[in-house]
Amino acid sequence: MSRFLHTMLRVGDLQRSVDFYTKGFGMKEIRRRDVPDGKYTLAFVGYGDEDSNTVIELTYNYGTDKYEMGSAFGHLAIGVPDVAATTEKLRGFGAKVTREPGPVKFGTTIIAFVEDPDGYKIELVQRA
């Protein structure tokens, strides 16, 4: 059976990003792998084990603290029970809010957009 495993994001400060996703979204750090010969460290975060959940792979390349955002990447989407409360919590962690909580245009679903510490856009979608 085929299955979506993970999305990889390159980050400039691994612990800052792990803290953002674990403290801000309630994810858990599932595993970490340091590869000195390859000059990188991987940290996998998510809501459950990799055998049955899709996770985010945070990749820190030694000595690189910033990346250019390409124009092709859109956003990650995370379902949360309360978009407004989550937005405020993330704002407290220094997240940049690029769209305040509210209904989607021409609809009723409540969403917001924030950026993680490296500038990746995340859509918050209210789910009961």
pLDDT in tens, 58-103: 999 999 999 998 888 999 999 999 999 999 999 998 899 999 999 9
Cα–Cα distance between 113 and 11 in angstroms, integer?
Answer: 19
- Please confirm, yes or no, whether 57 is among the known catalytic residues: no
Check pLDDT > 90 for residue 128.
no
Burial of residue 6 (CB within 10 Å: 0-12, 13-18, 19+) is middle
pTM of the predicted model as reported, rounded to 2 decimal places: 0.91
Average pLDDT, stretch 11-33?
A: 97
Residue 64's nearest CA partner among 8, 119, 12 is 12
What SS3 state is found at 34?
strand
Given the residues 50, 57, 68, 123, the one annotated as active site: 123
**In whole numbers, what is the pLDDT of the chain averaged over residues?**
95
Please give the domain boundaries of the chain with CATH numbers for all domains: 6-61 (3.10.180.10), 76-126 (3.10.180.10)
